[in-house]
Structure 1
Amino acid sequence: MISIDRFLSDEQDPKAVEKVIGKLNDLLTTGEEILYLAVQKKPAVNLLPDSIAVTNKRIFYCEPGNLGLTMNFKDISLKNIKEVSFKEELFGSKFICVPQTGENIVTEFIPKTQARKLYQAANEQLETHKALLKEKQDEENKAAAAASYVAPQSFAEMEPVETPEIKEPEPIQIAEVIEEPEDETTLKLRKLKTLYDKHLITQEEYEAKKANILDSL
């Protein structure tokens, strides 16, 4: 059984940690271990907080169900995650997981210290996973190159080859393409949309700033 003591270093709810760890212990695969556990802390009633656990293989989302009598688990493998981030707010932080495909997974009200350490643990595992994938790909490329290598023939083995007549290539006309630079308003709208897509501003802030930009035309 996994000890919960090391997951209580940043004021996590002991009852929530005990319940989650007890369930997660049965879900871990061979060689998989929990690296960090963050527990939601809602500003008002915090009886049934959600939890997020980072392992060396996955990110688990743990949500209480049936008034706390059951626990719902969802997980996403590191290979299916594009990036993670967090955004500090007035009441805790948002932890954002961006999958390779599909919508972002956003969890609110994570205590700020826990959100920072959650991000650090998840990001480190992502970087390690990407490095291992690159190393594997490099090895496969080297193996493929070695398999396709053909040893050069000696001069004695080579058959004489007639030198073909070399014709002067016809000049190629290249049409000049002139790209018109985007105007300042378009650039502002593009940057504003990027901030909204990354959950760095709310929809209300996005709509208000967009209206301001359009009004200035």
Structure 2
Amino acid sequence: MILIDRFLSDEQDPKAVEKVLGKLNDMLTSNEELIYMAVQKKPAVNLLPDCIAVSNKRIFYCEPGNFGITMNFKDISWKSIKEVSFKEELFGSKFICVPLHGENIITEYIPKVQARKLYQAAYEQLESFKEQQRQLDLEERRSSTSPVTVNTLPTPEPVEEEPQAFFSQPLAAPIIQAEEPEDETTLKLRKLKSLYDKHLITQEEYEAKKADILDSL
């Protein structure tokens, strides 16, 4: 049984709260708990106010019908809500619920204090739901990610060497040309040039000896 006193902390209409709680008590699912309730307060006549209740699973919109004889209930789950907000006006505030699909749900004449607390409760539950969804999505991505395998290069197949022919032609041996030995005249000229290069004889002596050697041919 839901205790009514906890929903009268901000001057909510006791009769409206009691009537709505009696209906909501039968509508709550397992592990569902009401967190806050705001009651509409119209500036002139407030005989049939609307109520908004926030639970840990959804938002309830409670509208009296048939002159208060019946109650119409609509609810929207947190997974279907994009965001919530409120706007203070001259007479109370507007509480705005923006669904993922469809038009915004706007409830006017909510007392300012109740609108602030209603928004706080709804915002906290919506963020909590979004965080749970983020964690679930993260776990699903982790579980669906296959382990990384290292690509290994295929082992090359051994290449069979072709057997050499038994009767193979021998390689041609390189031809080495033997140098002809220098004759005596060439050796004399080479030695003479070496003496001149080492400055052991003068140019005149070099030219004279060179002429003698060439004349001897």
* Alignment partner of 1:149 is 2:147: yes
Structure 1 residues 3 and 154, CA gap change in structure 2 (3 angstroms): same
Counterpart of 1:12 in structure 2 is: 12
Counterpart of 2:33 in structure 1 is: 33
- Tell me, what secondary structure is at the counterpart of 1:45? coil
Partners of 2:155 and 2:123 in 1: CA distance: 58
Cα displacement (A) at 1:152: 2.8
Partners of 1:160 and 1:153 in 2: CA distance: 15
Counterpart of 2:149, as a letter, is A
- Any unmatched runs of 5+ in structure 2? 158-217
Cα displacement (A) at 1:151: 3.4
Counterpart of 2:215 in structure 1 is: none
Partners of 1:152 and 1:115 in 2: CA distance: 58
CA RMSD of aligned residues (A): 1.4
- Any unmatched runs of 5+ in structure 1? 162-217
- 1:165-176 matched pairs, under 5 angstroms: none
Counterpart of 1:55 in structure 2 is: 55
- Tell me, what secondary structure is at the counterpart of 1:53? strand
* Alignment partner of 1:159 is 2:155: yes
- 1:81-100 matched pairs, under 5 angstroms: 81-100=81-100
Which one has the largest radius of gyration?
2
Deviations along 1:15-65, one digit per CA (max 9) or x if unpaired, are 000000000000000000000000000000000000000000000000001
- Tell me, what secondary structure is at the counterpart of 2:108? strand
% identity of equivalent residues? 72
- Tell me, what secondary structure is at the counterpart of 2:11? coil
Deviations along 1:186-208, one digit per CA (max 9) or x if unpaired, are xxxxxxxxxxxxxxxxxxxxxxx
Cα displacement (A) at 1:149: 1.9
- 1:185-204 matched pairs, under 5 angstroms: none
Partners of 2:37 and 2:7 in 1: CA distance: 6
Partners of 1:102 and 1:30 in 2: CA distance: 28
Aligned length: 157
The TM-score, its normalising length taken from structure 2, stands at 0.70
* Alignment partner of 1:65 is 2:65: yes
Partners of 1:39 and 1:52 in 2: CA distance: 7
Deviations along 1:163-203, one digit per CA (max 9) or x if unpaired, are xxxxxxxxxxxxxxxxxxxxxxxxxxxxxxxxxxxxxxxxx
Partners of 1:101 and 1:94 in 2: CA distance: 20
Counterpart of 1:125 in structure 2 is: 125
Counterpart of 1:20, as a letter, is V
Partners of 1:91 and 1:160 in 2: CA distance: 84
* Alignment partner of 1:24 is 2:16: no
Cα displacement (A) at 1:159: 2.8
Structure 1 residues 92 and 152, CA gap change in structure 2 (3 angstroms): same
Partners of 1:126 and 1:37 in 2: CA distance: 16
Counterpart of 1:159, as a letter, is T
Counterpart of 2:64, as a letter, is P
Counterpart of 1:134, as a letter, is R
Counterpart of 1:135 in structure 2 is: 135
Structure 1 residues 91 and 143, CA gap change in structure 2 (3 angstroms): same
Cα displacement (A) at 1:160: 3.9
